[in-house]
Amino acid sequence: MRIALGTDHSGFAMKSELIAYMESIGLTVIDHGSFTPERVDFPDIARLVGESLRSGEADRGIMLCGSGIGAAIAANKIPGIRACVCHDTYSAHQGVEHDDMNVLCIGGKIIGLWLAQEVVSAFVRAEFSKGDYFRRRLKKLDQLEWDYAKQLVERE
């Protein structure tokens, strides 16, 4: 599996060890930065991660910031991205299985490396449940996104 990874300055401290872990379990990591601990704006990194998913370069994405919240908000602005903050293994796999979550957001100031590794493992092992109920909900989510995007275009 190919993972687009992005961090801001608050997630930077965990990044190198998390990359090493992901590679050790067979994941290919596409690193979108940050490449230094200097301050960086997470929306810029979220754009890069989202574009990797939309283009097919990556299968899923992971964002690290201080709380995970800003990364999730930014990533969810990108059409087709379903990003969630997960600091436990249940949410990490259930978000994929029930909601087709494709970007995992983690707060580097909230959880430690060991738990982050467990959360990443749960996220990458999970698969979207293709049951009618879940596919119907996903179509409704896509329709919500389209309806509001269309309104924005019509205003211009």
Query: Which CATH number covers residue 72?
Result: 3.40.1400.10
Give the lowest-confidence range in 20-29, 61-70, 93-102, 134-143: 134-143
Residue 52 and residue 58 in contact, taking contact as beta carbons nearer than 8 Å: yes
- Structural domain including 33 reads 2-129
Residue 86 lies in a domain: yes
Checking if the pLDDT of 153 tops 90, the result is no
pLDDT of 21: 98
Residue 66 lies in a domain: yes
Closest CA to 62 of 155, 147, 98, 23: 23
32, 65, 84, 86: the catalytic one is 65
Model pLDDT for residues 135-146, shown as the tens digit of each residue: 899 899 888 888
| Residue 60 token pair | 């899923």
pLDDT of 98: 95
The verdict on whether 65 is a catalytic residue reads yes
Residue 89 lies in a domain: yes
Domain count of the chain?
1
The verdict on whether 32 is a catalytic residue reads no
Checking if the pLDDT of 128 tops 90, the result is yes
pLDDT of 145: 86
Residue 104 and residue 62 in contact, taking contact as beta carbons nearer than 8 Å: yes
pLDDT of 107: 96
Residue 124 lies in a domain: yes
